[in-house]
Structure 1
Amino acid sequence: MTVLVALPVLLPLAAAGLSLALGRFADVQRVIGIVVLGLIIADAIALLWISDGNGPLVLQLGDWPAPFGITLVADRLSALLLVVSSVVTFAVLLFSIGQRITDYGRERSSTTFHPMYMMLCAGVSMAYLTGDLFNLFVAFEIMLGSSYVLITRRTTASRVRAGMTYVIVSLASSLLFITMIALVYASTGTVNMADLGDKVGMLPAGLQTALALLVVIVFGIKAAMVPLHFWLPDSYPTAPAPVTAVFAGLLTKVGIYALIRTQTLVFDHEQSWTLMLVIALVTMVVGALGALAQNDLNRLLSFLLVSHIGYMLFGLGVYDVIGLTGVILYVVHHITVQATLFLVSGLITRHTGTVALTRMGGLLKAAPLIAVLFALPALALAGVPPFSGFVAKLALLQAGVGAGTWMAYAVTGGAVLTSLLTLYAMARVWTRAFWGQVKAPEVDPDPTDELVVGTATSNRPMVAATGVLVVASVVVAVLAGPLAGISGRAAEDLMDGQTYRTAVLGGVASD
């Protein structure tokens, strides 16, 4: 059964090569992508079922035992996030095909989108499953390399500027990442995370603190936590809707996952983590206030993305089973909801021809289905009961109150305030875009623009793909009980750490 752990990485890598070789055949590329992502969803569900029932599933590549070889590990946390991420990448691919972003309306398909998209999926899967820091770095570089291509396609001046910001910040964070790995290896002689759990604890306290802070900075940049967030609102809004959706839904969450994994498995925090609570509070409030100042719909959603990263940092800062349970629930909720909102933004842009809220209006009459597709994830993001955001936020608020420290109380209050600000921001979008008089769509005057916008119509495949994610967000709320159970067990594993270490260092898992 250990071969199942490798498939989420190997399948999209093989699909990328095959798609590149068959770049002249657009329909074949599309079929390959859909089939491969469907298989990954099935594989991820199987991994979640096995890991929840029998413990972590471990694959030692090349039959080299840990900590000397490359180890892939599927435990409750990684398998759960793999399931959710696979569903999102599947839906976004369907949206991309419907929008014809893969070929920009040409009869002949572009050769770059499908291979790069499959590479991105492979990097995400590898980040969840890898058991050592160096291959985590490799996974991030796979994601970043493919994202460079995806974010800079159709090289307009604004996209080149945004791409430069994204590339420079990403390269800087990668340099810090590899430096951090070198320091960890020089201090402990290993980069295997299960092995590091024991060896880091034997280092001097000052060195432990320095390494932990460096890890926070590295993954904080990738997760876009304040004040390391400045690159995201300038980079994401310029990309096409499906590219932005998959970036917003997954890339920042992979950073959060890496932060959770390292801070629970490698470093020891015996009580509430005050520094992380402060960062969480600032991230929530700054992101929400930034969203309220925006007229560009995509920039507004980007700032809300930054704001809600603070909720995940909140649970990590509380640092107990309840807090980590809330984090896991919130990551599952936010992956689906944030990706959905950016897809809806793509539908709105296609209909109106603009991202400026002040130039929209009347979509409730002109496109009622788009209004429904926006309203459900918007309410979920704001945490309105009984949607998925409410379930996740309730767990975090309980953790904050239960922590019993003044800083935890302050962040709990900030979380409530941020929810209200998010609701207000979503209400602004609703009143400006969906209420009022119907406005004529703004067709791009550039005749060379091959992306169809301002059509005043809704593309059925795009709407259907967005509907898949809306349904997925509703399912998260409906299955709140079972998801809370799995998340709670994953949180207990994270706080204990011994189950993970035993599975990785105790030998090769039997087939």
Structure 2
Amino acid sequence: MTLAAHYGQILAPLPVLIPLIAAAATLVAGRRPRTQRVITLIALSAVVVVCAALLYLADRDGTIAVQVGGWGQSETGMGPLGITLVVDRLSALMLVVSSVVLLTVVFYAIGQGIRDGDDKQPVSIFLPTYLVLSAGVCNAFLAGDLFNLYVGFEVLLSASFVLLTIGASKERVRAGISYVMVSMVSSLIFLFGIALLYAATGTLNMAELAVRLDDISSGTRSALFAVLLVGFGIKAAVFPLSAWLPDSYPTAPAPVTAVFAGLLTKVGVYAIIRAHSLLFPGGGLDRVLLVAALLTMVVGILGAIAQSDIKRLLSFTLVSHIGYMVFGIALSSRLGMSGAIFYVAHHILVQTTLFLVVGLIERQAGASTLRRLGGLAAASPLLAFVFLIPALNLGGIPPFSGFIGKVALLEAGTEDGSVLAWVLVGGSVVTSLLTLYVVARVWTKAFWRARVDAPEGELSASAPSALLDDAEDIAFDDRDDVGRMPIGMVVPTLALLGVGLALTVAAGPIFGYAERAADQVLDRGEYISAVLAPVHAAAEGGHP
């Protein structure tokens, strides 16, 4: 084993272990908020460093596989028995982007005071739960077997419900129950797929599955893939499995909404990439995925046009842009996969930034509905700037990273040359234009026009709460800090905006990395060899 591989073996479990240990420590320090914050910031900063090191090692030396527990071979005699963690270029990129977002958002949450409603919210559980969520996200990206991936999803589900319902307002509990019910259905479908795969192959290790599924008939393979796609499609909010998302995310506190919008659906997209490219290559359901991608784009953006609340509007754009990622995956080409991987990284950063900006808007104006907003550009030029840049990026205006990712996907579609691919190219262009229309509408109504011209502009932040019909607006308008944006919220938003702009400035090297990651994803050999070869060597008495 080389020195780099040895370090990789040591580092790979840490993105999961560090947040879990820190979560336990913050629970012990529940009565000492300052200690909780210090532990959380140190832990998530350490995760960023570890993930950056893993990305460097994976890009330089190839896929890193770790067998946790050292339990030897499975009964099939091929794969490892126990928990397998795998770090390749794709998972390393997802870890780095996710860890940066998680760290930035927790800084924002601390700057906000974590609480965004009344003083009865149980904020002492926020940071421990947030750390558990971080561990679940990292575990999902590292999972080398389907059951461990399922465990990662369930950790996410448990932590998500607590974060969604913190404060226990009627709207949040209702949205949380809806989210949990949908997630449980998704988990049951996934668990059903796991049972079918185990019955068909006798293993759940993904590298071993990739080998053994080749011996199964194409019809059975397609049926197994379809079951997994339904489960993953719900988590990724792919149409027609996306109706739950716009009703679940907007009611949560701003930091929770931001991290959910940026990360949780991308875990589903990542699972689709693994299933499509590692377990079921060959394009058996690519046409279905292309149709789903088109409908996700169009239906999502049409839903966004109909919204007057910025949170719901952004939730619908989130659904819409999942379609771009599914489009790249379904093309089953190097350029399509490269574009999808690059677009996932771009969208995590931009979407998270926009939801953080909405939290600033709520602090500045006391509302997030366009019917009550106006004059924000004059009231806070800085707020106008931090909205405009990621909004243009989301709309795909050159030279931003959104434009680069979309051009790559459009080029991949034209290279495919099929009628359906050309329809997707047209749908992508229309969706991009409508996205630009949506963010321009927010700009003109919330930032450019005078507040007195808004239909409900007289209901300012100083208006009596009895005049307000929306319970979420009451939570903000009753506060005495509306009209002031804490520096602890502004700085993390600017930092994440800077990371998003870095994706534009360094688009060449980063897209080159995405191309290498796509090559690795589409060529399953390295992944399979990295997982199975050391096990075989150890079984034969050699050194892994």
Please state if 1:60 is matched with 2:67.
yes
Identify the residue that residue 175 of structure 2 maps to in structure 1: 162
Is the 2:356–2:493 Cα contact (8 Å) retained in structure 1?
A: yes
Q: Tell me the equivalent position of 2:14.
A: 7
Q: 1:253 aligns with which of 263, 266, 274?
A: 266
Question: Which entry has the higher C-alpha Rg, 1 or 2?
Answer: 2
Q: Please give the alpha-carbon distance, in whole angstroms, between the structure 2 residues aligned to 1:461 and 1:41.
A: 20
Among all aligned residue pairs of Structure 1 and Structure 2, give the percentage whose two residues are the same amino acid.
Answer: 50
1:92-134 deviation line (CA, Å, top 9, x unaligned):
0011001111596869973210110000000000000010000
Structure 1 residue runs without a partner (length 5+):
none
Instruction: Give the match for residue 30 of structure 1.
Output: 37
Matched, 1:227 2:261: no
Aligned to 2:309: 296
Superposition deviation, residue 297 in structure 1: 0.7
Deviations 1:170-221 (A, max 9, x none): 1111111111100100010000011111111211221111111111100000
Report the equivalent of 2:125.
112
Q: Decide whether the 8 Å contact of 1:352 with 1:454 is kept in 2.
A: no
Q: Deviations over 1:228-252 (max 9, x none)?
A: 0011000000001100000000000
| Mapped pair 1:69 → 2:67 | no
Aligned to 2:103: 90
* Aligned residue identity for 1:14: I
Matched residue type, 1:20: L
Match of 2:461 in 1: 441
Which range moved further: 106-115 or 469-478? 106-115
Name which of 518, 526, 540 aligns with 1:491.
518
196, 202, 209: which one pairs with 2:222?
209
Tell me, yes or no, if the aligned pair for 1:353 and 1:443 is still in contact at 8 Å.
no
Residue aligning to 1:286 = 299
Mean Cα displacement is larger for which, 133-142 or 164-173?
A: 164-173
Code of the aligned partner of 1:345 = V
Q: Does 1:341 align with 2:368?
A: no
Partner of 2:326: 313
- The residue type equivalent to 1:171 in the other structure is M
Count of aligned pairs between the two proteins: 511
- In 1, distance between residues paired with 2:12 and 2:167? 36
How do residues 369-448 of structure 1 correspond to structure 2 at under 5 angstroms? Answer: 369-438=382-451, 440-441=460-461, 445=465
Distance in 1 separating the partners of 2:280 and 2:464:
52
**Residue of structure 1 equivalent to 2:46:** 39
Residues 61 and 136 (structure 1), Cα distance of their counterparts in 2 relative to 1, 3 Å cut? same
Provide the residue aligned with 2:187 in structure 1: 174
Given that 2:234 and 2:242 are in contact with CA atoms closer than 8 Å, whether structure 1 keeps it comes out as: yes
Counterparts of 2:91 and 2:200 in 1: how far apart (Å)? 27
Contact 1:212 1:267 in 2 (8 A): yes
Distance 1:103 1:326 in 2: 37
Change (3 A) 1:402 1:63: same
Letter in 2 for 1:121: S
Letter paired with 1:490: A
Change (3 A) 1:182 1:453: farther
The superposition leaves residues 20-53 of structure 1 with CA deviations (integer Å, 9 ceiling, x where unpaired) of 1110010111111111111111111100100001
What SS does the aligned partner of 2:371 have? helix
Q: What amino acid is the match of 1:58?
A: A
SS in 2 for 1:312: helix
- Give the Cα–Cα distance (whole angstroms) in 2 for the partners of residues 294 and 488 of structure 1: 37
Q: Distance in 1 between matches of 2:214 and 2:257?
A: 40
CA contact (8 A) 2:45 2:103 kept: yes
Question: Post-superposition shift, 1:359?
Answer: 0.8
Q: What SS does the corresponding residue of 2:92 show, helix, strand or coil? A: helix
- Please give the TM-score of this superposition, normalised by the length of structure 2: 0.91
Q: Is the 1:25–1:109 contact (alpha carbons within 8 Å) kept by the matching residues of 2?
A: no
Q: 1:389 to 1:216 in 2, by over 3 A?
A: same
Q: Which amino acid aligns with 1:484?
A: F
Change (3 A) 1:453 1:72: farther
Task: Answer whether contact 1:350 1:453 (CA < 8 A) is retained.
Answer: no
- Match 1:277 to one of 287, 290, 314: 290
Is contact 1:196-1:266 (8 Å) kept? yes
5+ long unaligned stretches in structure 2: 1-6, 73-78, 452-456, 538-542
User: Which SS does the other structure have where 1:60 is aligned?
Assistant: strand
The answer to whether the Cα contact below 8 Å between 1:351 and 1:453 also exists between their aligned partners in 2 is no
Structure 1 stretch displaced more, 65-74 or 245-254: 65-74
Go from structure 1 to structure 2 and tell me whether the alpha carbon gap of 1:444 and 1:347 turns closer, same or farther (over 3 Å shift): farther
Deviation at 1:442, TM superposition (A): 5.3
Give distance in 2, aligned partners of 1:273 and 1:469. 34
Alignment correspondent of 2:500: 473
Displacement after TM superposition at 1:54 (Å) = 0.3
Q: Take 1:150 and 1:116, find their aligned partners in 2: how far apart are those partners?
A: 7
Structure 2 residue identity aligned to 1:337: V
